[in-house]
Amino acid sequence: MEPPGGIHMTRIFGLLISLAITLAATPAGAVDLKVTSAGAVRGLIAGMIEDYKRQTGQTFDFTIGTTGQLRAVITSGFPADLVITSGPLMAELEKTGNLTPDSRVDLGRIGIGVVVREGVALPDVSTVESFKQTLVAAKSVAHTDPTAGGTSGIYLVSVLERLGIADMVKKKAVLESGGKETAEAVANGNAEIGVTFISEILAVKGAKLVAPLPPEIQDYTLYTTAIPKASTDPAAARAFVSHLTSAAMAPRWKAAGFEPPK
């Protein structure tokens, strides 16, 4: 899942500018809690941030990216109070010694699903063979660009290779920067069908989740959070993690397609 080549520091901070989502203007004297997150949880975390802001007055600087982009950004030394990443990437970061000991908290796991435009006939993806034939028959297939380090895109390419249709699908692939963009491409009619994280599909208006991938080829990604040693307010970060994992938030994780960590 390594991003292609080295990423120059200027490009890294240019990436931050393009990906950053500033959820509110910062009041004078206020200090933003800097949260850097994977895209698969962007809509869910953004909603929880809005709730927390209303409850506490805490302001946020929320940035997102694919696994590959996050790896480059975080290892570059970009300051953050909290990181939310896939389990494999978090394991990499833990080995660097740059995370606060015992601050890791597993949040939930999400599977990959098939998306079509709302209102169209749902294709059969109930078995591995029917999923294969559906992709073969589709005029275009959207998924995250694996060269950008998108977890679901990388996994999908490996599945297509196992099924013997990688080259066929590649010729009609609509490559997107993230899962949300994949679902939007389908919802907007720019692709006939798409494959990405279920949470990204459910968050996009006009996109319809057909079904999760068949169990034999399904892959779940654990999402987890931790506090970097560079955090300027670890106490505020811990308080927000408590909000994310509270019983009151459990129904929202479920509604977004997430299962409890295993």
CATH number at residue 142: 3.40.190.10
Looking at the structure, tell me whether residues 62 and 138 fall in a common domain: no
Does residue 40 lie in a domain region? yes
Q: pLDDT tens digits for the chain (262 residues)?
A: 434 444 343 444 444 444 443 333 334 445 899 999 988 898 899 999 999 999 999 999 998 877 777 777 777 777 789 999 999 889 988 888 888 999 999 999 999 999 999 999 999 999 999 999 999 999 999 999 998 878 899 999 999 999 999 999 999 999 998 899 999 999 999 999 999 999 999 999 999 999 999 999 999 999 999 999 889 999 999 999 999 999 999 999 999 999 998 7
Tell me the C-alpha distance between 75 and 233, whole Å.
20
- Structural domain contains residue 262: no
Q: What SS3 state is found at 212?
A: strand
Indicate if 27 and 97 belong to the same structural domain. yes
Q: Is residue 1 part of a domain?
A: no
Asked whether residue 2 is assigned to any structural domain, the reply reads no
Same-domain check for residues 174 and 237: no
Residue 261 lies in a domain: no
The answer on 203 and 167 residing in a single domain is yes
Considering the domain architecture, whether residues 83 and 209 belong to the same structural domain is answered as: no
3-state SS of the chain: helix, strand, coil percent to 5? 45, 20, 35
CA distances from 54 to 24, 50, 115, 184, 245 (A): 11, 6, 33, 29, 18
3-state secondary structure of 222: strand
25 & 91 share domain: yes
Looking at the fold, whether 88 and 169 belong to one and the same domain comes out as: no
What is the reported pLDDT for 70? 78
Read off the pTM. 0.78
Residue 59's pLDDT is 95
Is 18 inside any structural domain?
A: yes
Residue 4 within a domain: no
51 CB-near residues (< 8 Å, 6+ apart): 243
Q: Are residues 200 and 103 in the same domain?
A: no
**165 and 131 in one domain?**
yes
Q: 78 and 155: one domain?
A: no
Give which of 140, 153, 135 is closest to 189, Cα–Cα.
140
Q: Which amino acid is at 56?
A: T
**d(C-alpha 35, C-alpha 65), whole Å:** 12
User: Which of 114, 147, 144 minimizes the C-alpha distance to 3?
Assistant: 147
**Does 197 lie in the same domain as 105?**
no
Q: Tell me how many domains the chain contains.
A: 2
Instruction: Give the pLDDT of residue 30.
Output: 55
Domain that holds residue 124: 112-217
Residue 260 within a domain: no
Q: Are residues 186 and 140 in the same domain?
A: yes
Q: What is the secondary structure of 151-162 as a DSSP string? A: HHHHHHHHHHHH
Rg (CA), the chain: 18
